[in-house]
Structure 1
Amino acid sequence: MEKLSKLDQQLCFEVYKASSNFTKMYARVLEPFELTFTQYLVLLVLWEGDRLMAKEIGARLGLGIGTLNPIISRMEAAGWLSKEQSPEDKRASIISLTEKAKGSHDPIEAAVADKLVSCNFMEDVNAIALMKNLKELNAFFKEMNL
């Protein structure tokens, strides 16, 4: 019987590896659209509700504004987003989807779904239970103010 190293017994390491593997898988799927995984996450937030303050997007994704601003700037330069100054707060920006982003929603989502189906992800892993457990874990960490 193979003896597991201390590293291989760490939940944090398995979560880290799973996160890394998801990022790589999504990077391959998103490459034809010239999007990064993080840019895709920004689009997901805006597809749920367009015209959001940058800080709202950051809060949803757990990203600070210093991390998010360069991502938004690259997406704006690539034609995915538009940015305008908030009329209520001159220091804040309202981020909106462009027609390119709106029109790419279905093809991007189809590419992601096709990849997940081709990986037999739903058959090999109890995705519903995994999602529930990860949500509980993240809620626990949020309660701890981490």
Structure 2
Amino acid sequence: MPNTQPIQLDTQLCFQLYTANKKFNHFYQKVLKPFNLTYPQYIAMLTLWQYAPLSVKELGDHLNLDSGTLTPLLKRLESHGWIKRQRSKEDERTVIIQLTEMASNEQDRVFTHVKSCFEILNLTSDEKSDCSEAISTLEHKLDAFNKAKND
């Protein structure tokens, strides 16, 4: 019987990513509290600030979220005045998401606040770039693995 080393939890990349993700979510929960936004709502707003108007499907494609996950998130954003949803005149099955005046007016304030909070983490631009590059590499390798397994 081979003598294998036990797997240690704290050496597992998956656990490190899981833990970092939980800590990032907690960080963003505090950062976004003044705007009454959750992290998923914030990334939806980032996408909408960049590309709106979008259909629910287009937004889901950007965020890798299905409509079942997006619909309650969008309902909350709408009830808090960030977005408007309306049926497309060309295709009633399609729901178009538009920014409200409030969302447009708050964009710079949200960006400035998030940026100032991020400065507290004291990440150098090189550290941020290294993290982003490593995560991107991992994502691409996971995508390739998943694609190969599905073929």
3-state SS in 2 of match to 1:126: helix
Equivalent pairs, count: 142
Q: Which amino acid in 1 is paired with 2:84?
A: S
Question: Alpha-carbon deviation of 1:142?
Answer: 2.2
| Map of 1:61 onto structure 2 | 63
Query: Structure 1 length normalisation: TM-score?
Result: 0.90
Q: Which has the larger radius of gyration?
A: 2
Amino acid at match of 2:116: D
Q: Deviations over 1:88-121 (max 9, x none)?
A: 3211100011011111111111111111112212
C-alpha separation between the residues in 2 aligned to 1:122 and 1:108? Answer: 22
* Aligned residue in 2 for 1:110: 112
Structure 2: distance between partners of 1:61 and 1:85: 21
The answer to whether structure 1 residue 135 and structure 2 residue 141 are counterparts is no
| Structure-2 residue corresponding to 1:99 | 101
Match for residue 26 of structure 1? 28
Render the CA deviation track for 1:57-108: whole Å, top value 9, x for unaligned.
1111111110000000111111100001022321110001101111111111
Identity %: 35
TM-score normalised by the chain length of structure 2: 0.88
Mapped to 1, the partners of 2:39 and 2:91 lie a distance apart of 30
Determine the structure 2 residue equivalent to 1:45. Answer: 47
1:136 Cα deviation after fit = 1.6
Tell me what 2:3 maps to: none
- RMSD over equivalenced CA pairs, Å: 1.8
